[in-house]
Amino acid sequence: MYCLLRPTYCRLKKDAQYKPPEVNYRAIIHLMSQSVKITLSLIITILLIGAAAGLVQQNDNAVPGTEARLMTPKPLTAFQLTAHDLKPLNIERLKGKWTLLFFGYTHCPDVCPITLTELAQMAQQLPPEVLDNTQFVFVSVDPQRDSPESLAEYVGYFNESFLGATGSIDALTTFARQLDSKFSLETDPAGEPIVNHSSAMLLIDPQAHYYARLKAPHYAEEILAQYLALRNNYSPNTP
Amino acid sequence: MMALTKTFPLVFLLMMTSINAADKLQVHDAWAREAPPGTSVMAAYLTLQNPSLKAYTLTGLSSPDFKRIEMHRTEQHDGMSKMLPVPQVMLNSKENVVFQPGGMHLMLINPKKPLKAGDNITLTLFFSDEHSTKSSLEISLPVKKVTANTRHTLHNGQHDSHSHQH
């Protein structure tokens, strides 16, 4: 055992000239007890911090899949867009159903069709009773090029039940702001419009409260899991 | 030593064939996403492979099937989706450049006739090498309707494009 602890000494023991160095055991024991104290207090501190963090976490979103939920869901205020069926898309139309909504434009060949494809995939996997009170809305922020009529064809390509909508720039700006979203329309040197828009998917609850924000990139399985978790842990009375 | 002498011709042969195949730029997994109705743009994706010892620059593209073709990159920045034009793409020696959903893509603008899944598109890619020598590569790629999870299509090898370098 001694040799295990002091291999240098054991190796040199055969040498008659060698004398083991004097060891001040008392000092070592003192140092050890000091370090044990420090270590213990460190462990306690870490545990305390961990517990505190756990408490905070619990208040917020302890249920897996509900991380996207807002701290305080926000009641939406009046807005008016035009849906692809030429009827208004307003606050009344968001009530009574869950709404998954995102901003885009039809001249976006990459990320918008990708997201709509994922959303269509996700819709297919929803249990019928959930699908029944869910609506999917694609809001075009490019009203110059996207009419309600062209949106009807566009969103219908992905899923017959998807709703397309657009409106005046003012109406779109008001609406987007309520959902902490933004967009910008610029023109490139060749005169072609450049459209930038928020990439998050927004979840609005059946009381027309902005309820959760799902970050991009959007994949069917993740949207599905998050949406179901958010619904399962929803109680309309808690803000 | 004997083994080395024996295998040497074989190694030499392998080296020769790889040199022969090496000089040509190659395009793999090229396809275009069918455009939904109501829009006049579609995206195409491909993998560019440069097995040669030279660096190339992809300077532009054209197609008899479209008015114009641009290179773009989708960027997610600060919670915003942006499409940024990419004027040209560097293709270093022994390097691959991937145009893929959610990343760099070709934007095919204003098709001259409606294109549906199953149709083929002809594209010409224009290159310039280190000595500014121009070359071009003509490819044919299929139009596809994507209904499956796009994340999976990223990893599915789609080897039905073919290319010829001129």
Pick the residue from chain B with its C-alpha nearest to A146. B38
Whether A199 contacts chain B with CB within 8 A = yes
Residues in chain B within 8 Å Cβ distance of A104: 81
Query: How far is residue A13's CA from residue A16's CA, in Å, rounded to a whole number?
Result: 7
Q: Can you give the pLDDT at residue A138?
A: 98
For residue A227, the surrounding DSSP H or E stretch is helix A220-232
| Distance from the first to the final alpha carbon of chain B | 44
Q: What integer pLDDT is reported at residue A188 of this predicted model?
A: 80
Taking the Cβ of residue A219 and every Cβ of chain B, the question of whether any pair is shorter than 8 Å is answered with yes
The yes-or-no verdict on residue B55 having pLDDT over 50 is yes
Ranked by mean pLDDT, the top range of A53-57, A231-235, B21-25, B116-120 is B116-120
- Nearest by CB to B81, which of A111, A116, A188? A111
Look up residue A18 and give its DSSP letter: -
Structure confidence by residue, pLDDT tens digits, A129-161: 999 999 999 999 999 999 999 999 999 999 999
What's the rounded mean pLDDT across residues A52-80?
76
- The whole-number pLDDT of residue A12 equals 44
What's the pLDDT at B17? 43
* CA closest to B36 among chain A residues: A154
The pLDDT, as a whole number, for residue A130 is: 97
In this complex, is the C-beta atom of B148 within 8 Å of any C-beta atom belonging to chain A?
yes
Report CA-CA distances (Å) from B38 to A136, B113, B121. Answer: 19, 14, 20
Please report, for residues A20, B41, B59, the alpha-carbon distance to residue A117 in angstroms, rounded to integers and kept in the order given: 77, 17, 31
Number of A to B CB contacts under 8 A, please give it: 95
Across residues B107-136, what is the average pLDDT? 96
In the structure, what pLDDT confidence band is assigned to residue B42 with cuts at 50, 70 and 90? very high
Q: Does A228 touch chain B if contact means CB atoms closer than 8 Å?
A: no
Chain A contact for B82 (CB, 8 A cutoff): yes
Task: Give the rounded percent of residues in chain A with a pLDDT score beyond 90.
Answer: 64
Interface residue B37 vs chain A (CB under 8 A): yes
pLDDT for the residue numbered A136 = 98
Distance from CA of B38 to the nearest CA of A (A): 5
Per-residue pLDDT band for A237 (boundaries 50, 70, 90) equals: low
Q: Which residues of B touch A196 (CB under 8 A)?
A: 80-83
Name the pLDDT band for A62 (thresholds 50, 70, 90).
Answer: low
Closest CB to B82: pick one of A158, A196, A217: A196
Mean pLDDT of the region A165-184? 97
**Residue B28: beta bridge partners?**
B47
Q: Check pLDDT > 80 for residue A60.
A: no
A69-232 classified as CATH 3.40.30.10:
yes
More reliable by pLDDT, A42 or B118: B118
A229 touches chain B (CB under 8 A): no
Question: pLDDT at position A3, please?
Answer: 45
Please state, for a pLDDT cut of 90, what percent of chain B lies above it.
66
pLDDT at site A189: 80
Which 3 state secondary structure label does DSSP give A217? Answer: coil
Structural domains for chain B = 23-145 (2.60.40.1890)
- Greatest distance between any 2 Cα atoms in chain B: 70
Cβ–Cβ below 8 Å for A219 and B151: yes
A117/B contact by beta carbon, under 8 A? yes
User: How confident is the prediction for chain A on average, in pLDDT?
Assistant: 84
Instruction: Give the confidence band of A44 by pLDDT, cuts at 50, 70, 90.
Output: low
Long-range contact pairs involving A167-171 (C-beta distance under 8 Å, separation at least 24): A167/A80, A167/A81, A167/A82, A167/A89, A167/A143, A168/A143, A169/A143, A171/A79, A171/A80, A171/A81
Is the model's pLDDT at A19 over the cut of 80?
Answer: no
Residue B156, pLDDT above cutoff 50: no
- Average pLDDT in the B134-147 region? 95
Confidence of residue A190 (pLDDT cuts 50, 70, 90): confident
Tell me whether A121 touches chain B (CB under 8 Å). Answer: yes
Is residue B138 pLDDT above 80, yes or no?
A: yes
The ranges assigned to domains in chain A are: 1-62, 69-232
Contact B146 A113 (CB under 8 A): yes
Mean pLDDT calculated for residue range A175-192: 91
Give percent of chain A above pLDDT 70: 73
